[in-house]
Amino acid sequence: MNLFSSQIHIALPYLSILVLMYFALTVNVIRNRWKHRVGLGSGQNPLMEQVIRIHGNFGEYVPFLSLILIVLEFNKATPVFLHTYWILLILSRVAHAWGLWGSRSVSRGRTLGMTLTGVVMLGSSVMLLVQFFK
């Protein structure tokens, strides 16, 4: 365990924060399923659609981007790069959840969240290519 954690010590606290965020989103879906008596899908309830999509969007992007950032850390990306991109990933998910929670249509929070997600996706992918061809 010490060997592994010493190789990805930057990722560990950020991964913990992201898992806690995902847990909170999961609890929110469960709570709303009980409240609105919806066992599967959204039950055509607009609020259920929102909480399901907030949870789902998080689950669609965070694992993949986390994997890329962990690989970058194993490949010795600079600490400044890694901290910046982990923070951007967390901020992107907070902004997206906040934006979708507040409005079912396009909102500043959703736009900011997906823009930051795109920055993390593109920037980390380019850095992987730079590391590969170095």
Architecture, CATH, for domain 2-133: Up-down Bundle (1.20)
25, burial (CB in 10 Å: exposed 0-12, middle 13-18, buried 19+): buried
Question: For every one of its 134 residues, what pLDDT tens digit does the chain have, with 9 covering 90 and above?
Answer: 455 556 778 999 999 999 999 999 999 888 977 777 766 766 677 777 888 888 899 999 999 999 999 999 999 999 999 999 999 999 999 999 998 887 777 789 889 999 999 999 999 999 999 999 98
- Segments making up each domain of the chain, as ranges: 2-133
Query: What one-character DSSP code corresponds to residue 89?
Result: H
> How many other C-beta atoms are found inside a 10 Å radius of the C-beta of residue 77?
19
Q: What is residue 125's three-state secondary structure?
A: helix
Alpha helices, H only, 103-133: 108-133
Amino acid at 66: S
The model's pTM: 0.89
